[in-house]
Amino acid sequence: MIHVSATPVLALRGVSKRFGAVQALTNVDLEIHAGEVVALVGDNGAGKSTLVKTISGVHPIDDGAIVWQGRPVRVHRPQDAQNLGVATVYQDLALCDNLDVVANLFLGSELKHGPVLDEIAMEKRAKELLDTLSIRIPSVRIPVAALSGGQRQVVAIARALVGDPKVVILDEPTAALGVEQTAQVLDLVERLRERGHAVILISHNMADVQAVADRVAVLRLGRNNGVFDVADTSHEEIIAAITGATDNAVTRRKARTSNGGDQTEVGGTDSKFTKEDAK
């Protein structure tokens, strides 16, 4: 059902990141193809947000490589990621409260009329964009400070789409949203996929993940802990990978001793693990 090109649009190979004494990411691999939604899941502190920040240039990586459409690239600053075509919606939204909605949408990529800001073109495009996303905000000319939490979230998502990016990263986009807005955001994610964008979706909400994602990449304690196809993976298997239920004394013993014994559902996930985890 999904047409996935051979070369991933974005691939991480053995990415590591340290913050002082904390090894936030160890040897993480990730591949995203155009027209694909990859959910990135993991417990708090698993390194999801750090991984996103390395891709978007907020924190440069210490080791490993970022490969963009088959060629290695260096992402040291947010501008580098933007120039490649990576747009990120951060968990803390990163909006400027004092600027109005239009200014926030086009911040960093303002439309210009010669050397002068083209406010009219920006306002017009902002309205079109917000109408498309069925986003209801009082006015595009009020400061973001005056918006509610849900309204800010949709403004932040709309902002990611202004530059027509190839890869869109959504960090917990539905955490602060109501029922209707959540559905709208999920619709939006599907629409992005149909347009050939690659989407990385970070979420704690398994219902959202199973609703829109094609594959689920699990992080645990800063390492890969399996990549699953959503279509043929159960909810419990993913939860098990997140919490590490597959990796404890009991399962390790079972893996050693039981050959041909009663393979449990949990044991079944082992075959899908990446190579690092098999070591």
Q: Return the bridge partners of 113, or none.
A: 116
- Between residues 146 and 255, which has the closer beta carbon with respect to another protein? 146
Residues of this chain that interact with another protein (CB under 8 A) are 56, 58, 77-79, 82, 88, 90, 93-99, 103, 107-110, 112, 115-117, 120-121, 123-124, 127-139, 142-143, 145-146, 161, 164, 190-191, 194-196
Residue closer to another protein (CB basis): 97 or 229: 97
Segment holding 87, helix H or strand E: strand 86-89
Cβ 181 to another protein shortest distance, Å: 13
How near is the Cβ of 141 to another protein at its closest, in Å? 9
Q: At its nearest, how many Å lie between another protein and the CB of residue 138?
A: 5
**Within 13 Å and on the Cβ side, how many CA atoms surround 222?**
13
Q: Report in angstroms how near the CB of residue 214 gets to another protein at its nearest.
A: 16
Q: Which is nearer to another protein, 127 or 235 (CB)?
A: 127
Supply the minimum distance, in Å, between the C-beta of residue 231 and another protein: 14
Token pair listed for 206: 């398994």
Nearer to another protein, 209 or 227 (CB): 209
Nearer to another protein, 211 or 266 (CB): 211
Best CA proximity match to 107, nearest among 167, 47, 155:
155
Tokens coding 268: 């079944």
CA proximity to 151, closest of 97, 76, 214, 109: 97
Please identify which residue in the block is written with the tokens 């002082």: 20
Continuous segment of H or E residues that includes residue 182: helix 179-194
Tokens of 78: 């947010």
**What is the C-alpha to C-alpha distance for residues 66 and 266, in angstroms, rounded to an integer?**
32
